[in-house]
Amino acid sequence: MKRRFNGGGAMFSGRERQSRLRRGLRVRIMLSLIISLTVTGGAFWFFHMREGAGPEALSEIAIVLLGAACFVMGVFGAVFSYRRQSRIRPDGEHGTSSIMTEKELPEFQRHFFYDPVIVRRHVKGLRTEYDDMELKTVCRKGYGQWARMRKDKRLFRACFLNSQIMGQGVYLSMNCKFINRNLNTLTIGGSGQGKSYSELLPNALNANCNYVFTDPSGEILQKVGRFLRGKRYKIRVFNVENFSNSQRYNPLAYVNTEKDYNTLVDALNKNIKPDKKSGGPNEFFDDAKDSLICALVALLKELYPDEPERQTLSNVMELLRLATQVPGKEGEVTSALDAMFSDLRQVNPRSYAARMWENFRVGGPKVCNEVIISAAAVFGRFFDTDELAYLSSADELHLEELAGEEKCALFLVIPQSTATYNFMVSMIYSQLFDIVMRKGKEWRDRHRLSDPQIPRHLSFWLDEFANCGHIPNFLQLLSVVRKYNISINIIIQGMAQLKGMYPKDEWESILANLDTMIYLGGMEPSTVKWLSEKLGKETIRQISSSSGRGGGSTSFSNTGRALMTADEIEKMSRAHELIFISGCKPIRTRKYNLKEHPNFKRCGEADPANNFDAGRYFHIDRIDYAALERARIGREELENYDFGRIRVKEGVKRGEPLKRAEKRTEEKVEREASDAAGGKAGGKPAGSIARISEVRLSEEEKRRRIAVRERAGEDLNLDAEELLFRVDLNNAQVFSGFRADYEFV
């Protein structure tokens, strides 16, 4: 660190200044010792060199005391000068920030590391000697047991494996009630700063909870997958980078309530094509698209309630293709999809799918047609591919197991170069949070607990958080997950990423719900500036000196400076990190060395033979096209669906189906027979049914009729029957008379 000049004096950074003062103190003490020895030696020499006289006993004692007095006075002056120059004002007029020292770490461990539950289990003398409250006091204040606890290696290992690793010597117990803080963490580090090596891998090797990892490129899965499997963890993998090494995930398998429909559709629309602008026509079309997709998903769930293999996103697209036209006048059917919703509403008046469809129809034919085209164009690019259709054809992740008592780890592997299919990961997070919270409430009711919580702690590690997609209601989730026994660890490369995802000061709401923040290093300007402000200021002693012909002067004054400036944070050693814990001093410590972990030898980082091969574990070689074809719903099957199979909720009066499917089938058969016999050339063929269509007056014919009525002095308003009426298209003679003056609706 460099020396900086301010006016006529000099001001040093805090660390350099303290080292200079300590070095000056040592030099002054050595000078005092040399001066005292010189004075004592000179006195003895003076007395011995006198002729005919020798020093008496009293003179020798006086000489020794003189030398000792010189030494004591020199030491006292050196200490006084050191304290005078390094002392911070008691009132802290410019700030009292400071970095936690190594001597303060044992006190930190008392408050955050030694869990009383584990202490009682491993220290025999404490099992009956203390109750829970007294044991907590022992861990936090010590008394006579603290020294013995610190020397117990078995106790340290047990507490270490039941903690979350923050850095070298800085560990937080997983017992949130003991540390009185949540375990939500924000980790900031640029590329190559050790986010995986120092944070993700060490905590995964602790194997003390259930895990959900966002794993770019699959590095974490490869290195700790085999170790966790050896610890009897159930390994679940969803890989959107390499579909052949992934288990299947069907989001519709977790849709059971009306709230689930909204969660699914919200995650879909916000991640597939997010709208950066709020308000205006874009927001209107997005809301209409939400109602459309929600209606289609609900319709598919109601049509095939006992066939989960049919409840897929690709079949939602099959339903969307039936909406080739939108409804015209109310109550008139103009598309196969509208006919299905009409039949459904007739059978089940309280159908959620039919209600959503009616909400969608409010926009009018033109708007509905535009929304249908937009939805087909956007969602078809993803759900019509064979790879994604097979990946979502069944559910093998079993997300509810993550909220159970069994050990389970879920790895969500995303590509580093593209975010095309990352919306699937966002849907997993959205549905997983809902499932976990619902299971927590069920566990509370079953065991009569005061707060909802899941039996085993669940830790989310959101690496490359900016690439995970938008998680709906993430701010609200972050504020309540602690009591559900859940922790969320966000990993980003800089504050600019978080501000880009959550603008308008929403990112500050995220920080308000994180009790721990770790800075591993980086050069992002807004991050280092924000960290410098977060560290605060310290009060230092400024030395000002001046000189001239008549002499010089030195003065001392208190001033404030940043505990670490932005350039000092940028130049911080790559082996060190900064840790901020709520209610504690900032900690500057070394990054955790993975090689010192007790389970290091069992991971893939130590030996490539310990790597996890997902392809061999899941045995996925190719897409089963036969299974895809069996699960796909054809257009003809949907048009001929028997709505008498529809289930109705208890208390809802069941209606009778209109049997329109059978009528449509008859029309199709007879029309094909008529076309084959060449009946369209002449009049209406025998045995054929009428093809009814609505026609209306052309604009030219309207003006002609109004002019005729005006000349005759009649009413100029045309009747509804004149403007719009029905004709049989099979009757060529009748239809030819209307061809010039009418047009199709």
DSSP string, 565-610: -HHHHHTS-TTEEEEEETTS--EEEEPP-GGGSTTGGGSTTT-GGG
Examine the domain organization and report whether 639 and 697 are in the same domain.
no
How far is it, in rounded angstroms, from Cα 175 to Cα 182? 9
Q: How does DSSP classify residue 650?
A: T
- Residue that terminates a domain, selected from 86, 114, 149: 86
* Cβ proximity of 482 and 176 under 8 Å: yes
- Indicate if 276 and 351 belong to the same structural domain: yes
Using the predicted structure, report yes or no on whether residue 228 has a pLDDT greater than 70.
Answer: yes
Name the β-bridge partners of 461.
Answer: 213, 489
The answer to whether 391 touches 385, Cβ cutoff 8 Å, is: no
- Is the residue at 686 inside a domain? yes
Query: Are 644 and 722 members of one domain?
Result: no
Q: Are 707 and 633 in a shared domain? A: no
- Tell me the mean pLDDT in the region 182-196: 91
Q: Does 128 fall in a domain?
A: no
Is residue 713 located within the same domain as residue 637?
no
Last residue of a domain, one of 22, 54, 86: 86
Q: Per the domain annotation, does 542 fall within a domain?
A: no
Identify the band that residue 719 occupies on the pLDDT scale cut at 50, 70 and 90.
Answer: low
Give the confidence band of 17 by pLDDT, cuts at 50, 70, 90. low
d(CA 524, CA 494) in angstroms, rounded, equals: 6
- pLDDT computed for residue 673 by the predictor: 54
Q: Note whether residue 677 is domain-resident.
A: yes
Same domain, 644 and 712: no
Task: Mark whether 382 and 273 lie in a shared domain.
Answer: yes
Locate 239 and state its tokens.
Answer: 């890989």
- For the segment 395-415, what is each residue's pLDDT rounded down to a tens digit? 989 999 999 999 999 999 988
Mark whether 697 and 644 lie in a shared domain: no
More confident residue, 705 or 722: 705
What single-letter amino acid sits at 167? Answer: G
The larger pLDDT score, comparing residue 129 to residue 36, is at: 36
Question: Does residue 364 sit in helix, strand or coil?
Answer: coil
Q: How far apart are CA 741 and CA 33, in angstroms?
A: 122
Give the least confident one: 197-201, 366-370, 408-412, 692-696: 692-696
* Domain contains 533: no
- 709 belongs to a structural domain: yes
For residue range 549-580, list pLDDT tens digits in order.
766 777 767 777 888 888 889 989 999 999 99
> CA 393, 398, 404 angle in degrees (round to 5)?
170
* Residue 258 and residue 332 in one domain: yes
Task: Give the three-state DSSP class for 277.
Answer: coil
Domain count, the chain: 3
Mean pLDDT, rounded, of the chain: 76
Give the end of a domain, one of 86, 101, 120. Answer: 86
Clarify whether residues 647 and 728 are in a common domain: no
Per-residue pLDDT reduced to its tens digit, 202-211: 999 999 999 9
Q: Output the CA torsion sign for 595, 597, 601, 607.
A: negative
The residue among 250, 213, 259, 312 whose CA lies nearest residue 438 is 259
Neighbours of 707 (CB within 10 A): 11
| Intra-chain end-to-end CA distance of the chain, in Å | 82
Q: Residue 401 has what DSSP assignment?
A: G
What percent of the chain has a predicted confidence (pLDDT) above 70?
70
How much is the average pLDDT of 481-494? 92
Q: What pLDDT, on a 0 to 100 scale, did the predictor assign at position 720? A: 47
Report helix, strand or coil for 234: strand
Mean pLDDT of 464-480: 85
In the chain, the amino acid numbered 406 is E
**What's the rounded mean pLDDT across residues 715-728?**
48
Residues 628 and 718 in one domain: no
631 and 721 fall within a common domain:
no
- What is the Cα–Cα distance from 501 to 415, expressed in whole angstroms? 19
In a domain, 216, yes or no: no
Q: How many CB atoms lie within 10 A of CB 84?
A: 10
Evaluate whether residue 515 is within a structural domain: no
Show the domain range for 716: 661-744
Query: The pTM is what?
Result: 0.74
Q: Going by C-beta distance under 8 Å and a sequence separation of 6 or more, which residues neighbour residue 627?
A: 309, 390, 393
Please state, in angstroms and as integers, the Cα–Cα distance from residue 620 to each residue in 391, 415, 535, 612, 631, following that order: 11, 19, 51, 15, 19
